[in-house]
């Protein structure tokens, strides 16, 4: 398994996150470290053993594609 961080998300307790940004997200709150746990557990498990070259964005909907 190889993990590369390709982006940056503000997490509760790390700097200031303007209320305007939170107001435009799907989830109206700051990101918590626990919000990343599901993605980390999935990618560390055998369930993800056939996944390659993907980016999973965990950001509460602040950026939607």
pTM recorded for the entire structure: 0.60
- CA 52 to each of CA 2, 3, 29: distance values in angstroms, whole numbers, following the listed order: 9, 11, 31
Could you report the per-residue pLDDT of 16-63, keeping only the tens digit for each?
667 777 888 888 888 888 988 999 899 889 999 999 888 888 888 887
**Domain definitions of the chain by residue range:** 11-65
Supply the pLDDT for residue 19: 78
Supply the pLDDT for residue 48: 92
d(CA 49, CA 45): 7
Dihedral (CA of 55, 59, 63, 65) sign: positive
Class of domain 11-65: mainly alpha
DSSP result, 12-59: TTSS---HHHHHHSSS-S-B-GGGGHHHHHHHHSGGGTT--S-----S
């Amino acid at each position: 398994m190889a993990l590369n961080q390709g982006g940056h998300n503000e997490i509760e307790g790390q700097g200031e996150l303007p209320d305007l940004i939170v107001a435009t997200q799907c989830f109206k709150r700051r990101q918590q470290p626990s919000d990343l746990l599901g993605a980390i557990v999935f990618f560390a498990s055998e369930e993800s053993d056939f996944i390659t070259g993907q980016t999973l964005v965990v950001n509460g909907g602040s950026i939607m594609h």
